[in-house]
Amino acid sequence: MALKLEDKKRIVEEVHALAEGAYSIVAAEYRGLTVEQMTNLRRQAREANVVVRVVKNTLARRALQGTQFEDMGEHLIGPLVLIISMEDPGSAARIVKAFRKEVQALEPKVLSIGNGAMSGDQLDAVASLPTYDEALSKLMYVMKAPVEKLARTLNEVPGKLVRTVAAIKDVKEKEAA
């Protein structure tokens, strides 16, 4: 069924708005997926605040123009589904990676986490990016370590003084005896 011009414009506007607020986009070939499998992918994506859109490639190219994902346009070939991460850069890649464990038919073709498109082979690297909370906790751990070491070092000075005074006292007592 052919789309009317108004419908095409609406789709381009929706995808453009999604792309402007997105952290990353994965374009994957969905040839061979059943309706049930695609529904399962959409459900998993919805739970992770990731948007799944099947859009004609020409409309997707127009929608991505003027966004940080514009470089992906030339790589959009074949029946592709756009998986758009709205929360953190690795969400879309993690969804695709997890889904591929169950269904090999979903083949990532191109992905981007901002300026510059990457091949689908880079999916595992992007999927291993930490979430916002994980990155924040790692940063806090790194910032906390020097403070703890400083506190231990400063605490050691009075302890060493007390041990030295105690040793001098023991020596004086032995000399007096």
Task: Output the DSSP codes for 13-80.
Answer: HHHHHHHHT-SEEEEEE-TT--HHHHHHHHHHHHHTTEEEEE--HHHHHHHHTTSTTGGGGGG--SSE
**What's the rounded mean pLDDT across residues 49-70?**
88
Q: In this structure, are 68 and 125 located in the same domain? A: yes
Q: In this structure, are 74 and 115 located in the same domain? A: yes
Q: In this structure, are 118 and 80 located in the same domain? A: yes
Q: In this structure, are 68 and 109 located in the same domain? A: yes
Tell me the β-bridge partners of 52: 83
- At residue 107 the predicted structure's pLDDT band, cuts being 50, 70 and 90, is confident
The rounded mean pLDDT for the chain is 86
Q: In this structure, are 116 and 155 located in the same domain? A: no
Q: In this structure, are 72 and 154 located in the same domain? A: no
Q: Which of 129, 78, 85 is nearest to 106 (CA)?
A: 78
Range of the domain at 25: 5-129
Is 70 exceeded by the pLDDT of residue 97? yes
Is 70 exceeded by the pLDDT of residue 1? no
Q: In this structure, are 62 and 43 located in the same domain? A: yes
Q: What is the pLDDT of residue 43?
A: 92
The total of structural domains in the chain comes to 2
Is 80 exceeded by the pLDDT of residue 36? yes
Q: In this structure, are 47 and 73 located in the same domain? A: yes
